[in-house]
Amino acid sequence: MEIQSFANIPSEAQILLLAASAVKEHAYNPYSRFFVGAALLTYSDDIVTGTNYESASYGATICAERAAIVAANTKGFRQFKALAVIARGEENDMLETCNPCGLCRQLLFEAAELSGGDFVCYLSNTAMTKIRVTTVTELFPLPFGPSSLKINIQPYLPKESQAAQNPS
């Protein structure tokens, strides 16, 4: 896991992070007043974003990362190259990077499995001066995943990816 500056991450990651930063302003957050944005780069180089959506029951809250995964699936995207996450408080910047919660790591693992095993994650502080460059598998060691249940998720990949992974 490395720490990078904005200038030293690839331009596609910079664009992804800027998209995540913009969408965090749409957070529905009356309880935490915490603004989180996530952006996924799909295999087809589309960007799909998500932001946190809270509930009076607290537990029903959906984090930005999971919102982005579900939004992507709704648009027909299940395979990703990268994720960016960034957050801010109501009146304070986060000096540390915003790291996905445990629930999000579990769902990110599912998305990584569908994406060929892993993808890079850019976790940023608010000012984008500190960016943790990591991967889903690094964030989520010893996973409980599809293989734990002996489930084959290949049929849920786009047809092109199924063909690429099972050449006949």
First-residue to last-residue Cα distance in the chain: 37
Output the CA torsion 51→94→123→130 (10° steps): 150
Q: How far is the CB of 83 from ligand THU (least distance, A)?
A: 11
Nearest residue (beta carbon) to ligand THU:
63
If binding is defined by CB under 6 A, does position 43 make contact with ligand THU?
Answer: no
In angstroms, the CA 103 to CA 63 distance is 9
The residue annotated as part of the active site, out of 65, 96, 138, 160, is 65
Residue 88 backbone phi and psi in degrees, to 5:
-145, 155
* 47, 19 Cβ separation under 8 angstroms: yes
Q: How far is the CB of 2 from ligand THU (least distance, A)?
A: 20
Which residue in 45, 86, 95, 43 sits closest to 64, CA to CA? 86
Nearer to ligand THU, 84 or 157 (CB): 84
The answer to whether 12 is a known catalytic residue is no
Provide the mask over 53-92, with x wherever binding to ligand THU is found by CB under 6 A and - wherever it is not.
-x------x-xxx-------------------x-------
If binding is defined by CB under 6 A, does position 42 make contact with ligand THU?
Answer: no
Residue 138 corresponds to which amino acid? E
Q: Active-site positions?
A: 65
Binding site for ligand THU (CB under 6 A): 29, 32, 34, 36, 52, 54, 61, 63-65, 85, 98, 100-101, 104
